[in-house]
Structure 1
Amino acid sequence: MYVPHFNAWDDQAAIRQMVADVGSAQLITTGPDGYPLATLLPVVWRGETVIAHLARANKHWKAIGADQPALLVVTGPQAYISPGWYAAKAEHGKVVPTWNYSVVQLTGRATVHDDVDWLQGAVDELVEHHEGHRDARWRTTDAPEKYIRGQLRAIVGLEIAVERVEAKAKLSQNRSEADRDGVVAGLLAEPSPDAHLVAEQMRVTGGVSR
């Protein structure tokens, strides 16, 4: 991933929190014909391992060999940045549109799991991740055991041993304070919730990668 020094993001706790908040990733591997395969998956990242699952009917998993290299791409809030928001537009006009975003790429080796007991543990962990904060949380034990076991047979598990973490926060860090203030104001006036989230990220970082 191309990461200019001012967009480099090395706050490991914040990186993990973003992955947890997004909760999904694009799994990208290479098929036997050399062409890339991609599937959006729910993920849980714990320690140096990411667990996920995909539908058994999805042929992607059949193209994943033992310890095959895999890339997981987790994309955070993103938004178009209008050059009209920059203070520099009125000063010299030498401004162009851009795109602000945060992204995490996890690279590692993938292992497919077809064992129902492993899948039960993976699904329970995923459910707990999303249900744990609820007062009336749902658990797989709330459904008939036979039904759950049948559902587990319709999916295949995936475990990625993470070898490299790359993160980028492109939040106008290379612009002046006046330009950044203009971008934040412009984003907050947009109807897109993502635009508001990007503005909040810019406020938190102060336009400086952390």
Structure 2
Amino acid sequence: MYLRAVHEESSTKALLEFIHRNPLGLLTTAIPSSQYPFLQSSHIPWVLDVISEDPDASVKGRLRGHMAKQNPQSKAMIELVTGSPSTSQLQEDVMVLFTGPHHHYVTPKFYTETKPSTAKVVPTWNYAAVQVYGKATIYYESSSQQTSEYLSQQIHDLSQLCETSIMGYTGEANREGPWNVSDAPDRYIEIMKKNIIGIEVTIEKIGGKFKMSQEMGKGDREGVIEGFNSLGSDVGKSLACLVKERGELKDAEAAKESK
């Protein structure tokens, strides 16, 4: 990921919180195989376990997820570790990319300061993303108790995260209670578990950015905010708030450095 200083988020805590709020990540692997593509990617919802917010820590957290066993990416990973113990670590790093829920094209017409004066503006795209690298351990042997226990815990934790944090089914303030894995028949869950593999990724390197027009002058940023608000959409309103927030952070940092 290209991390231009003006867009980069340097706080490990903020990056981990971003993952927690946006748990759907794109897992990418590079695995030599005679049967499957070298590069493969899959969208997976993850449970994040924070270990350390220290940017110098060797491992900052763990991502726990699961994938369909019939997924070609799963098959390539299983092929690579066949003959190893039932819990096996891939030797090469994997990458997981998380993106914010809202992103949008930015037309040069939004730049109310620079466009009228010099016309030296071009279109761009505003978005937020976090990228992590680390080692992946896969749990693929259905008969293994360790695999069974890992999958049971991961499925439970993921469903609780999504039911409560995303859907708001907390059982409080007249809200419905969350769906629980135990609501489904035990035998059915056991069958489902035999058709998935578990994957755990250690977060050894993390980086991210909020590309929200911070590189523009204040007048142009105000034009972008007005432009997004004028779209009359939830996406536009959300991005207008982010452009304002990130612009204010940039101005505050600049003021601090000038003292």
Fold shared per TM-score above 0.5 = yes
**Which sections of structure 1, spanning at least 5 residues, go unmatched?**
none
Residue 62 of structure 2 is aligned to residue 49 of structure 1: yes
**1:188-210, Cα deviation, whole Å (9 max, x unpaired):** 22255333322221122235458
Q: CA deviation at 1:17?
A: 2.2
CA distance in structure 2 between the aligned counterparts of 1:123 and 1:24, rounded to whole angstroms: 14
Residue 243 of structure 2 is aligned to residue 206 of structure 1: no
The residue matched to 1:105 in structure 2 has which SS? strand
Asked whether the equivalents of residues 24 and 43 of structure 1 are also in contact (C-alpha less than 8 Å), the reply is: yes
The answer to which of 56-65 and 69-78 deviates more is: 56-65
Partner letter of residue 112 of structure 1?
I
> Match of 1:157?
198
| Matching residue within 124, 142, 151 for 1:119 | 151
The answer to which of 111-120 and 187-196 deviates more is: 187-196
Asked whether the equivalents of residues 213 and 247 of structure 2 are also in contact (C-alpha less than 8 Å), the reply is: no
| Matching residue within 112, 130, 139 for 2:162 | 130
| Matching residue within 185, 194, 200 for 2:235 | 194
Residue 39 of structure 2 is aligned to residue 36 of structure 1: yes
Q: Percent identity?
A: 27
> Match of 1:170?
211
Q: How many residues align?
A: 210
CA distance in structure 1 between the aligned counterparts of 2:224 and 2:178, rounded to whole angstroms: 40
Paired residues for 1:178-189 under 5 Å: 178-189=219-230
**1:41-87, Cα deviation, whole Å (9 max, x unpaired):** 01111121001111111021232243331000001121111100102
> Match of 2:93?
69
| Matching residue within 76, 83, 98 for 2:124 | 98
Alpha-carbon distance change, 207 to 61 in structure 1, aligned in 2, over 3 angstroms: farther
Asked whether the equivalents of residues 22 and 74 of structure 1 are also in contact (C-alpha less than 8 Å), the reply is: yes
**1:85-104, Cα deviation, whole Å (9 max, x unpaired):** 10211112111101111110
Return structure 1 stretches of 4+ with deviation > 4 angstroms: none
Alpha-carbon distance change, 139 to 199 in structure 1, aligned in 2, over 3 angstroms: same
The residue matched to 1:73 in structure 2 has which SS? strand
TM-score (normalised: structure 1)? 0.93
Asked whether the equivalents of residues 28 and 94 of structure 2 are also in contact (C-alpha less than 8 Å), the reply is: yes
TM-score (normalised: structure 2)? 0.76
Q: CA deviation at 1:118?
A: 1.0
Hey, which of these two has a bigger chunk of strand by percent?
1
The answer to which of 128-137 and 164-173 deviates more is: 128-137
Superposed CA RMSD: 1.7
Q: CA deviation at 1:144?
A: 1.0
Larger radius of gyration: 2
CA distance in structure 2 between the aligned counterparts of 1:182 and 1:94, rounded to whole angstroms: 15
The answer to which of 107-116 and 186-195 deviates more is: 186-195
The residue matched to 1:40 in structure 2 has which SS? strand
The residue matched to 1:206 in structure 2 has which SS? helix
Which one scores higher on RCO, CA 8 angstroms, separation ≥ 6? 1
CA distance in structure 1 between the aligned counterparts of 2:23 and 2:111, rounded to whole angstroms: 33
CA distance in structure 2 between the aligned counterparts of 1:16 and 1:29, rounded to whole angstroms: 21
